[in-house]
Amino acid sequence: MAILLDETNDAKRTSWVTSANGHGDFPIQNLPLGIFSVRGDTPRGGVAIGDEVFDLKAASDAKLVSGDADKAARAASNPTLNELMALGAGPRAALRKQLSALLAAGTAESARAKPLASKLLHKAADCTLHLPAKIGAYTDFFAGITHAENGGKRRGANPPLSPNYKYVPVAYHSRASTVRPSGVPVRRPNGQRVVDGEQLPTFGPCLKMDFELEFGIWVGQGNAWGEPIPTGQAFDHIYGFCMLNDWSARDIQRWESAPLGPFLSKNFGTTISPWMVTPEALAPFRIAQPARPEGDPKPLPYLWDEADQREGQLDLEIEVLIHTEAMRAKGAPPQRIAVSNTKHLYWTVAQMVAHHTCGGCALEPGDIFGSGTISGPTPENYGSIAELSFDGTKDITLANGEIRRWVQDGDDIYLRAHGRRAGYASIGFGDCCARMVAAK
């Protein structure tokens, strides 16, 4: 599972694509993968570099990449990245190395690429970004322990966590067909809900709309049906990462969840950031899994791997911002309302993969996991509005004086993530944003 730092992570490397140098999200040290189109042409694979999108099909056609890198570029020339993801980590890493050399300033490879800039590069502002892969299955985990504890406390549970929480990476199967890329509005759902003060349900629009600050995990090479993936090998099956907003209709969820769990409250829309940040780009930000508090059980043997404990977690700052209609009307920027970190996850990505497959479930290229809401230990770290407002009983006062207890129609919710570490270039994920619009 070791992913080694190399020249592609060198903070001193700069690009002849000048907008990449010092870029907040997409410097040359990132090079995330995605699917783009320009002015309605055929969607195809690209790489974000500064304010541009590098066209992988054009690079392959121009014979700028070779060997496994060209194999990867040709696989990425389709309207989805599933074929590329099925190739596994080797071709992905080879493509990254050759692209880094092509885009770096002052290399022999860049002397071949720069004259073709007009064919290779497209201004990101002119591009439409699509889902990077056809999603076969979407599984939403519950690995943010503070979020789980806070939910239990709001429900009056004592203790707040269910007995299985510290033994098993809890998850449920969500709806792949309603995952959408950043920028696509999400419509408020209708459903059964019990209005505060009433005893019986009525049907109508969700009254308690929430966001969830989650980390998205893309599956690359899958596994054969009936063949579990060991924890020590599980990270090799992860192809990339994104931000994920698991929109949640809390009033509908409260009524429908007994006895089988959420259904309509979770299947109406999920927003993801469209760029797939690779494990190689995140190598500088891998850390040890924080030690479990004294008294917590050690994971069962199939979920325990020493290497995973040493380097299986990520240290990424993640945040939520809101941009209301009133803010936009006055030209005000979005306001940050919460900030957390991926290191607050109770389970590692590898443990999620290992548990998902331990019973023989087959994962496939393009499957996606949500981590579960990642809340930190203090209120400013809470990753959902249900936590920030204590289930709608406390006001969240914005800088312009507006009050929020739940997401309102017209609100844009942004999720963002950045990796920062001394001695390395900072990288980001780009926006994961959607506007909540009125129910039909």
Going from N- to C-terminal start, the domains of the chain cover: 7-130, 138-437
Tell me the C-alpha distance between 342 and 315, whole Å. 6
Average pLDDT over residues 18-41: 97
Average pLDDT over residues 42-48: 98
DSSP 8-state secondary structure symbol assigned to residue 103: H
HEC states along 276-337?
EECCCCCHHHEECCCCCCCCCCCCCHHHCCHHHHHHCEECCEEEEEEECHHHHHCCCCCEEE
Q: Is the peptide bond before 230 cis (omega within 30 degrees of 0)?
A: no
Q: What is the band of 167 on the pLDDT scale with cuts at 50, 70, 90?
A: very high
- If DSSP codes are grouped into helix, strand and coil, which group holds residue 427? strand
- pTM for this model (two decimals): 0.97
The domain made up of 7-130 is a member of CATH 3.40.50.1360: no
User: Contact, 36 vs 56, CB < 8 A?
Assistant: no
Closest CA to 276 of 377, 182, 147: 182
C-alpha torsion 224→137→25→8, nearest 10: 10
- If DSSP codes are grouped into helix, strand and coil, which group holds residue 135? coil
Q: Which candidate in 23, 147, 344, 355 is catalytic?
A: 147
Average pLDDT, the chain: 97
pLDDT for position 308 = 97
Average pLDDT over residues 196-203: 94
Amino acid letter for position 128: T
DSSP 3-state percent helix, strand, coil across the chain (nearest 5): 25, 25, 45
Average pLDDT over residues 89-100: 98
User: Contact, 90 vs 68, CB < 8 A?
Assistant: yes
* pLDDT (tens digit per residue) in 416-432: 999 999 999 999 999 99
pLDDT for position 415 = 98
Average pLDDT over residues 249-276: 96
Q: What is the band of 2 on the pLDDT scale with cuts at 50, 70, 90?
A: low
Instruction: Judge whether residue 392 has pLDDT over 90.
Output: yes
Number of C-beta neighbours around residue 333 at 10 A: 10
User: Contact, 362 vs 133, CB < 8 A?
Assistant: no
- Can 173 be counted among the known catalytic residues? no
Share of the chain above pLDDT 90, in %: 97
pLDDT for position 429 = 98
Tell me the C-alpha distance between 280 and 239, whole Å. 10
Q: Within 13 Å and on the Cβ side, how many CA atoms surround 410?
A: 7
Distance from first CA to last CA of the chain, Å, rounded?
A: 47
* pLDDT (tens digit per residue) in 283-340: 999 999 999 999 999 999 999 999 999 999 999 999 999 999 999 999 999 999 999 9
Q: Which superfamily, per CATH, for 138-437?
A: Fumarylacetoacetase-like, C-terminal domain (3.90.850.10)
Strand extents, DSSP E, 56-147: 121-123, 127-130, 138-141
pLDDT for position 1 = 52
Q: How far is CA 138 from CA 141, 246, 250, 273, in A?
A: 10, 11, 20, 15
Closest CA to 150 of 171, 139, 165, 140: 165
Average pLDDT over residues 216-224: 97
pLDDT for position 401 = 98
DSSP 8-state secondary structure symbol assigned to residue 422: T
Instruction: Judge whether residue 390 has pLDDT over 90.
Output: yes
C-alpha torsion 27→30→35→36, nearest 10: 0
Tell me the C-alpha distance between 104 and 274, whole Å. 24
Instruction: Judge whether residue 162 has pLDDT over 90.
Output: yes
* pLDDT (tens digit per residue) in 310-323: 999 999 999 999 99
